[in-house]
Amino acid sequence: MLGLLVAVGCTVVPVAGPATGAAQAPQVPTVEPVWPEQFLMGIASHLGNSRPRASDGKRDGEIALTELGATTLRDEAGWADIDHPGWADALQIVPQHGGTIMLLLDYGNPNYLEGGAFPDTPEERQAFLEYALTLVAKVGPENLAGLEVWNEWSNYLGWHGAYRWGDPCPVDPSDAPGCPRVYAQLVESLLYPEREGLDLPSLREAAPGVPVVVNAVSARDAPWTETVMSQLRDRDVQVDGAVLHPYVSGENGCPGTSSTPAGAQVAAACVRLVADEVAAAYGQRLPIYVTEVGWSSYDGPHGVSEDVQARNLVEFYVRARATGDVAGIWWYDLVEDRNDDPGEVHFGLIRRDPSDPMRPGETKPAGHAYAALARFWAGCAEVDGMYQENRFTLPCADGQRQIVLDATRADLETALADDLALVDLLGAVPDVGTGGDVTRLVGRPVGLGVPGSAQAVPAPSAPSVWQPVTIAAVVVAVVLVGLVGGYVRRRTRRRW
């Protein structure tokens, strides 16, 4: 169950214009953020856009939860489509599998907005809050991992390409590019509607205990984040986390990026940097919710091979979790997109069925890696170690495990001598126990089981299907989580 975060001590001040008179010390949030009780092992999905798998009738959300081992999916039913029965109904797969959704609240609605796609007046913000409350009620707050306010607002997503990152704010010329102050005002109105005279419940009242996360950026945009988070601080707006999409396949604001794809360590360092920047602007360190991250496995200047994609996935999840700043990570995305841009298509963990692109097909190497990692660290409380290093320890329900990201033969032989089972975290090599050959694991990310586990690890029957694995006679079962969601429209923007 998610922790409850309650806003207290809020002072109502005028909405319009900066304060006048003597300078006052900025308000600092007074409520400590509460983290989810378990790490959110997520995948971003477009569940409303697919048919069942031809071979067995499973939908892609069920595949993610029962085969890949995800515990949460990120999806949406956008404002313009909230009245379409298919979108919200698709989300009901979540309670069927006992899981949670990181629910996006986003995009414009021409029935309510005038002159653009951002809600920038009290009347438009009221309409957006009404949409959000309706969607939360349909999905059920008990089925939520969090509420994410908009997707990549700073990139003008929802404007259908009319504006791009860096363009002047079209709804308020006095605002900075990307309209950060307009965004911060929307967040405040969703959490404190009474401040604008809106006679509606707040998001917290509609979904008590559910984290509300903000900072709708793609990769790193330090000026935008500083403006948003400092305005929320000064207005005493309590939020529960900050969002980041640390794509590093091109120059995207994160140090170390260039015209060619950078690796997982650069992305993890970006997480730490943005966590520091959020803390400096907001006056409080917040959990980071990485609601999108990925590398495209396409043959082009911003792509990587499928094997590198799989390795980057494992390495990023481990390193980012080791920063101590991350509450959850949602890989982008579950099934490869249908898009004319080849660079946008190949982020997925699962291919599309070539005979019917609306159906999920075979699992990619990155999907096998995701399943292996989810299987290995299920039940592990945290990842300890310097995120820049290659060796990590994990306190787990059945004892201490280890991860070595670039295992040497000496590492592996020493682990077997200590009676530790070896698990290929890329999901391609069967688990190795006492007397086994470590050759195929050299140079790969490897999980080392608890002492005494080397005798107890059977070889998995098929790397494409996630199964609980017996380690030291303890069955470690990943909680199966369901998720459904209607993906309203293809998001047209590059991740570099």
Residue 79, domain member (yes or no): yes
Residue 486, domain member (yes or no): no
Q: What is the mean pLDDT of the chain?
A: 86
pLDDT at 28: 61
Number of structural domains (the chain) is 2
pLDDT at 96: 81
Q: Which residue in the block uniquely carries the two structure tokens 């640390």?
A: 246
| Region 115-126 average pLDDT | 92
pLDDT above 80 for 12: no
185 lies in which domain range? 40-377
Q: 412 near 446, Cβ under 8 Å?
A: yes
Residues 289-339 have pLDDT tens digits of: 999 999 999 998 889 999 999 999 999 999 999 999 999 999 999 999 887
* In a shared domain, residues 239 and 202: yes
pTM (2 decimals)?
Answer: 0.87
Residue 59, domain member (yes or no): yes
* In a shared domain, residues 252 and 319: yes
Q: Give 251's pLDDT tier (boundaries 50, 70, 90).
A: confident
pLDDT above 90 for 50: no
Q: Give 14's pLDDT tier (boundaries 50, 70, 90).
A: very low
Q: 485 near 45, Cβ under 8 Å?
A: yes
Residue 27, domain member (yes or no): no
pLDDT at 30: 66
Q: Percent of the chain at pLDDT above 70?
A: 85
| Region 162-179 average pLDDT | 94
pLDDT at 29: 65
pLDDT above 50 for 21: no
Going by the DSSP 8-state scheme, the letter that residue 168 receives in this structure is: P
* In a shared domain, residues 256 and 343: yes
Q: 458 near 470, Cβ under 8 Å?
A: yes
Q: 470 near 65, Cβ under 8 Å?
A: no
Dihedral sign of CA atoms 161, 167, 173, 178 in order:
positive
pLDDT above 60 for 81: yes
Residues 226-241 have pLDDT tens digits of: 999 999 999 999 999 9
* In a shared domain, residues 443 and 329: no
* In a shared domain, residues 196 and 341: yes
pLDDT at 285: 96
* In a shared domain, residues 346 and 412: no
Q: Give 94's pLDDT tier (boundaries 50, 70, 90).
A: confident
Q: Give 458's pLDDT tier (boundaries 50, 70, 90).
A: very low
* In a shared domain, residues 190 and 240: yes
Numbers of helices and strands, H then E, in the chain: 12, 16
Closest CA relative to residue 333, chosen from 445, 268, 266, 245: 245
* In a shared domain, residues 344 and 418: no
Q: Which residue in the block uniquely carries the two structure tokens 């956008």?
A: 78
* In a shared domain, residues 201 and 225: yes
Q: What is the DSSP string of 192-252?
A: -GGGGT--S--HHHHSTT--EEE---SB--HHHHHHHHHHHHHTT---SEEE-B---SS-S
The span from the CA of 354 to the CA of 357, in Å, is 6
* Alpha helices per DSSP H over 260-386: 264-282, 306-322, 342-345, 365-377
Comparison of pLDDT for 30 and 432, the residue scoring more = 432
pLDDT at 277: 98
Cα–chain-centroid distance for residue 405? 22
pLDDT at 189: 98
pLDDT at 347: 96
Residue 18, domain member (yes or no): no
Closest CA relative to residue 46, chosen from 81, 15, 14: 81
pLDDT above 60 for 468: no
* In a shared domain, residues 367 and 405: no
pLDDT above 90 for 363: yes
* In a shared domain, residues 401 and 354: no
pLDDT at 460: 43
Burial class (CB in 10 A: 0-12, 13-18, 19+), 148: buried
Residue 33, domain member (yes or no): no
pLDDT at 246: 96
Q: Give 469's pLDDT tier (boundaries 50, 70, 90).
A: very low
